[in-house]
């Protein structure tokens, strides 16, 4: 009797093992790839090279102007005969009506940038300008004491090279910037991106904001904008943005086959709102963005508030801004918000404990950018549960949090979000300013937070699952991503010796038993 029992137990164990082997057979290339990835942990250059090759889904949090490397801005500034003010390394537009012998005006400290970066000292000037327009080799000084100040200080220095406050100049440059970035994403195995851009500039924005007058109630403010021609402005801008997409296609020379670098990268725009302006200006930008998304959702997919969250206006008006967003966007306009891009010491404790919650519960944000200060929120556990329930996704930018806030390693809450079941994606934030790419963020996640291949793969899929795309578009992009991963895993598995295959099988069996 006892022998029969033992025989039955052994038979059941063998059957269970056989079933498990059958189950993992279909996942074997992924298991082999994961086992290979674990072996790369001791060899950082090979791990970085692997992650560069790995499909990364999308980048959902990138500011277009901050994504462009300083080298490109300098080249454009030289081409456009712009000027350089060496006292603060700011690129300036050529003054209207400047004399031929003084193309940058009468101030001898402001010179043509082409002259500044040429000649015997040209390389030195060029290198110093690169450092000023990015965080390259940044070291604190009394004038610029933190990475935070260096990071945010760069935007004003290269703003003229992006087109400045003139919308028509900005639109032309934006096409070049997007084309450049799409080529870079293509080279980095990224198939989808959402670019944060300013889509309401200059005199048009000023006149609309002026129409609000002394109104302070959101409904009355919106009515004033509508009376002043908000709908007409949005209709014109929707057409111009559609034309911009066509310009980008031409620059990439995509044609019908779309095989040239960058042509296979799907993109959308996120209308960004400068949160640190006057109330009427912030409300105007928000109302315009929400209306533009409704008018052209296939191009402008959502809105986001930008600018330092720790600046005085943002801190003082934060709750008001969240109410405005909730009022203007309703349930139909996708919202992603920078929230919790703060840390103890940067701002007083009372400013740390409500930003993420208000973004989620009042503004209705579907995605949170950074979310670094989650540990300081009131009832963190309850907030994490609510974010998981709503599917609110956190856009993690590891290098950015390090440079701006000094938050890195175990201090960073990425694993807190993951353990709580909150969806997470990796993002670059401002790749050009930080001198990185998306592969670098995957590398930091693997190196500093011990994320394995399967987890990194899930983050890549999250970047499509939580993109601001229509459901049919998401399905197409997910299918494309799955095919890319299957191709990678087959290729990696074919390259591995039998020992890696054996370890992958053992690992699959063990994981199935747990």
Residue 34: CB partners within 8 Å, gap ≥ 6? 452, 453, 454, 504, 507
218 — phi, psi (to 5°)?
-55, -45
Distance CA 224, CA 280 (A): 11
Mean pLDDT in residue range 391-418: 98
Confidence of residue 168 (pLDDT cuts 50, 70, 90): confident
- Tell me the CA end-to-end span of the chain in Å, nearest whole number: 30
Residues 15-43, mean pLDDT to the nearest whole number? 74
Report the alpha-carbon distance of residue 33 to residue 39 in Å, rounded: 10
pLDDT tens string 465-506 = 999 999 999 999 999 999 999 999 999 999 888 777 777 766
Rounded to an integer, what distance in angstroms lies between the CA atom of residue 478 and that of residue 464? 6
Over 80: is that where the pLDDT of 463 sits? yes
Q: Are strands 266-274 and 192-197 parallel, antiparallel or unpaired?
A: parallel
pLDDT at 467: 98
Burial class (CB in 10 A: 0-12, 13-18, 19+), 222: buried
Residues 113 and 75: beta-carbon distance below 8 Å: no
Task: Note the pLDDT of residue 300.
Answer: 98
Least confident residue range of 25-39, 141-155, 201-215, 358-372: 25-39
Give me the pLDDT at residue 2, please.
Answer: 64
Per-residue pLDDT, averaged over 305-324, amounts to: 98
pLDDT of 513 above 70 = no
Average pLDDT value for the chain? 93
Q: Reduced to 3 states, what is the DSSP secondary structure of residue 266?
A: strand
- The domains of the chain, with CATH numbers, are 58-66+160-484 (3.20.20.140), 68-159 (no CATH)
Local confidence band at 21 (pLDDT 50, 70, 90 cut-offs): very low
pLDDT in tens, 47-103: 999 999 999 999 999 999 999 999 999 999 999 999 999 999 999 999 988 888 899
pLDDT of residue 7: 57
Specify whether the CB–CB gap between 337 and 304 falls below 8 A: yes
Which tens digits make up the pLDDT trace of 414-462? 999 999 999 999 999 999 999 999 999 999 999 999 999 999 999 999 9
pLDDT exceeding 90 applies to what percent of the chain?
A: 86
pLDDT tens, 106-151? 899 999 999 999 988 999 999 999 999 999 999 999 999 999 999 9
In the three-class reduction of DSSP (H, G, I as helix; E, B as strand; rest coil), residue 429 is classed as strand
Cβ contacts of 504-509, under 8 Å, gap ≥ 24: 504/28, 504/31, 504/32, 504/34, 504/35, 505/21, 505/24, 505/28, 505/31, 507/31, 507/34, 507/35, 508/20, 508/24, 508/27, 508/28, 508/31, 509/17, 509/20, 509/21, 509/24
Radius of gyration of the chain (CA): 25
CA-nearest of 424, 459, 396, 438 to 51 is 438
**Each residue's pLDDT tens digit, 245-268:** 999 999 999 987 888 999 999 999
Residue bearing tokens 């980008």: 248
């Amino acid at each position: 009797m006892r022998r029969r029992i033992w025989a039955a137990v052994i038979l059941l164990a063998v059957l269970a093992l056989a079933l498990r082997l059958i189950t993992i057979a279909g996942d074997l290339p992924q298991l082999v790839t994961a086992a290979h990835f674990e072996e790369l942990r001791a060899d950082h250059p090979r791990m970085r090279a692997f992650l560069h090759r790995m499909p990364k889904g999308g980048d959902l949090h990138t500011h277009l102007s901050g994504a462009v490397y300083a080298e490109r801005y300098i080249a454009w500034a030289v081409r456009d005969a712009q000027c350089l003010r060496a006292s603060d390394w700011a690129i300036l537009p050529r003054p209207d009506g400047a004399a031929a012998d003084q193309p940058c005006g009468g101030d001898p400290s402001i010179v043509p940038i082409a002259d500044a970066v040429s000649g015997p000292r040209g390389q030195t000037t060029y290198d110093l300008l690169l450092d000023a327009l990015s965080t390259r080799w940044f070291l604190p000084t009394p004038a610029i004491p933190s990475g935070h100040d260096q990071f945010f200080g760069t935007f004003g220095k290269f703003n003229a090279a992006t087109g400045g406050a003139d919308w028509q100049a900005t639109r032309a440059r934006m096409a070049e910037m997007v084309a450049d970035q799409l080529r870079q994403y293509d080279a980095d195995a990224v198939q989808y991106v959402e670019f944060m851009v300013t889509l309401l500039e200059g005199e048009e924005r000023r006149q609309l904001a002026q129409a609000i007058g002394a109104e302070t109630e959101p409904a009355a403010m919106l009515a004033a904008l509508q009376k002043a021609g908000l709908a007409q402005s949005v209709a014109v801008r929707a057409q111009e943005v559609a034309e911009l997409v066509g310009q980008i296609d031409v620059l990439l020379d995509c044609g019908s086959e779309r095989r040239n670098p960058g042509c296979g990268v799907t993109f959308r725009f996120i209308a960004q709102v400068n949160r640190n302006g006057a109330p009427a200006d912030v409300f105007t930008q928000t109302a315009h963005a929400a209306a533009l998304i409704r008018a052209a959702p296939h191009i402008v997919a959502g809105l986001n508030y930008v600018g330092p969250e720790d600046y005085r206006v943002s801190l003082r008006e934060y709750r008001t801004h969240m109410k405005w967003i909730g009022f203007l966007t309703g349930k139909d306009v996708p919202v992603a918000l920078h929230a919790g891009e703060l840390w103890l010491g940067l701002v007083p404790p009372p400013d740390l404990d409500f930003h993420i919650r208000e973004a989620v519960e009042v503004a209705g944000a579907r995605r949170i950018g950074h979310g670094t200060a989650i540990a300081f929120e009131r009832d963190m556990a309850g907030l994490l549960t609510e974010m998981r329930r709503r599917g609110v996704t956190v856009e993690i930018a590891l290098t950015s949090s390090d440079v701006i806030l000094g938050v890195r390693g175990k201090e960073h809450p990425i694993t807190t979000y993951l353990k709580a079941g909150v969806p997470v994606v990796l993002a670059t934030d401002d790749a050009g300013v930080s001198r990185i790419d998306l592969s670098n963020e995957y590398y930091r996640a693997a190196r500093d937070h011990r994320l394995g291949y399967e987890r990194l793969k899930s983050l890549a899929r999250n970047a499509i699952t939580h993109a601001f795309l229509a459901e049919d578009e998401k399905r197409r992009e997910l299918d494309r991503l799955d095919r890319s991963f299957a191709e990678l895993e087959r290729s990696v598995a074919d390259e591995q010796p039998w020992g890696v295959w054996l370890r992958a099988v053992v690992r699959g069996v063990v994981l199935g038993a747990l």
